[in-house]
Structure formats: C-alpha cells, structure tokens
Amino acid sequence: MTGNSRIWHLVAILAIFSTPLVIMYVFQVIESVARPDAGSLWPGKLDLSNWRFLWERIDPGRPTIWEVTFNTFLFATATAVGVTGLSTTAGYALSRLNMPGRPYFLGGLIILHAFPTITLIIAIFIILQFMGLFDSLLGIILVKAALELPFGVWIMKGFYDTVPWEIEMAGVQDGASRFRVWWELVLPQVKPGLAALLIISFLSGWSEFVLPLVLAPGSSTQVLATYMNAVIQDDTTADFGLFKAIGMFYSIPVIVVYLLFQKQLMNIYGGGTKG
C-alpha cells in the first residue's frame, strides 16, 4: 500500500532523530544498576549500590530520600490542587460573568503567562521574607501556584467557553441556583480540562527547581530537584551512578503519570469537550 510506505519514511526519519534520546534513556536505566568497567562505555556487572539512597542516608547531614520525596509530593500536590481550584472558579467568572474590566483582565493573563517569572525572584524573596514564609514549603507552594495560575485560568476559560449557554439557561429555568448550575451542570462538561490541568500542574510542581533552590534552601524543605542538585554539587568526588539512580527515581512518577493519563493530557490541546 502506498499509504503505508509513505508512513515508513516518516517513521524512519523520526527514528533517526529520536535515537539519541532513546540511547540516553537506555543508559540512564542501565548505569543506575550497573558499574561500567573503567574507561569503557559498556556496563560490566550488575551493581545495586547506586540505589542505596533508598534504604540509607547517603550522607549524615542530609535528610532521607523519603522525607525529600514527601516534600516534593506535598509541594506538587498542593500546587496542583490550588491552581486547579482557583482556575476552575476564575475561568468560569472570566468566561461567563459580565464583570467590569474583563477584557483587560484577559489581556493581563496572557501577558503574565508570557512573562519570564524568574525575573521576579528577588521581589518574591523579599515578600516571603517579610511574611515570614521564607524557607518554608507553604511559601514556595504559594509562589508556584501564583505563577502557574495565569496558564490554568486561561485553559479553564477556554474549556468553559465550549459549554453551550443554553445548558446554563436550561438549568436556571429548571429552578437551580446559579451556583448549583455551575456545580452540577457546567463543571461535569469541563472535567477533561480539570483532569488535564491537575496533572499538568502536578508535573510542573514535581519538576520545579529554581523556586525551592532560592526560596527554600534549608534541608528540611528540600525537594527532589534540589536534593539531586546537592548530591552532584557538594561531593568532592562526584558519584554519577548515584546521581543517575536518584534521577531514575525522580522521573519514574512522571513517566507513570504520563502513561496513565495520556488521554486526559491530550485533551488540553484538543480544545475541550466533544459535542
């Protein structure tokens, strides 16, 4: 079939370009559980000692991996819940309520979304210091959620825009209050958006590095990204095997989330509910 052969070309091109990526992933996995012979690329024998961080402190001054993982999980989850919750209500308001200054608000969202937030880090540092939230998980959760909000609000507004007005009118006519209409009739229509936003902001929180590094540098608030950073930086003898194993450990949840929720994640680019 001609169609098939055309696809084969594409597959071949894609395969060539993604080979380096695949090779890197393969070595990431292999080298986390094997010790290469000196001077050789090829792994010699199986060696699980790289994964020792799972059951012992790699260094007495550091928190255990489980404390750090818990921190990361808490940070990502709280951020995701906060962003999704606020975006869900704000997106509805922007999509449906006739409030003063709405166009400016929408424009502002876009600008904020495009704004390189890292330039704000000094100001944020001062604010957190002032509020007494510096070097606390709550502080970086608030900052991360605030920075993610423009994206979330925009996405949710888009999903609400696809819900027909008549559904709300019908709900009101059926005797339901505006709040109940939103909760019981509109929200179920934007569920795909909610799911996607929840996952995306969780992953974004999970991989956040700069905010915890600058705003929560203490060891009690360390997250996996800063923990890895510390592992590779502090040691006089850099242990790449250990670093790779922690990296594997760090990325497993991301891979699992992607595998489980691929369909929901695609939704956000597909533009909402189908009719």
Partner 1 sequence: MELRLDNFTKSFGDVTVIKDMDLTVNSGEMMALLGPSGCGKSTTLFAICGIHKMSGGTLHFGDNDVTSVPAQQRSVGVVFQNYALYPHMTVEQNIGFPLKVQKIAKAEIKKEVARLAELVQIGELLDRRPAQLSGGQQQRVALARAMIRKPEVLLLDEPLANLDAKLRLEMRSEIRRIQRETGITAILVTHDQVEAMSMCDRIALMKDGKIVQLDTPEQMYANPQSQFVAGFLGNPPISFLDAEAGDALTLGGNQTLARPVGLDANGGMVLGIRPEHFGPQHGSGLEGEIIFVEPQGREELVDVRLEGGGNMRAILPTGEPFKIGQRVNWGVATDRILAFAPDGQRL
Q: Which residues bind partner 1 (CB under 8 A)?
A: 164, 166-167, 169-177, 180, 185, 188-189, 273
Distance of closest approach, residue 169 Cβ to partner 1, in angstroms: 5
215 near 75, Cβ under 8 Å? Answer: no
Residue closer to partner 1 by CB (options 94, 181) is 181
Residue 166 identity (one-letter amino acid): E
Nearer to partner 1, 77 or 273 (CB): 273
Nearest distance from C-beta of residue 258 to partner 1, angstroms: 26
Nearer to partner 1, 117 or 189 (CB): 189
Cβ closest to partner 1, residue 204 vs residue 264: 264
Minimum distance from residue 41 beta carbon to partner 1 (Å): 55
- For the CB of residue 51, give the shortest distance to partner 1 in the complex, in Å: 45
User: Minimum CB separation from partner 1 for residue 182, in Å?
Assistant: 13
By beta-carbon proximity to partner 1, the closer residue of 172 and 232 is 172
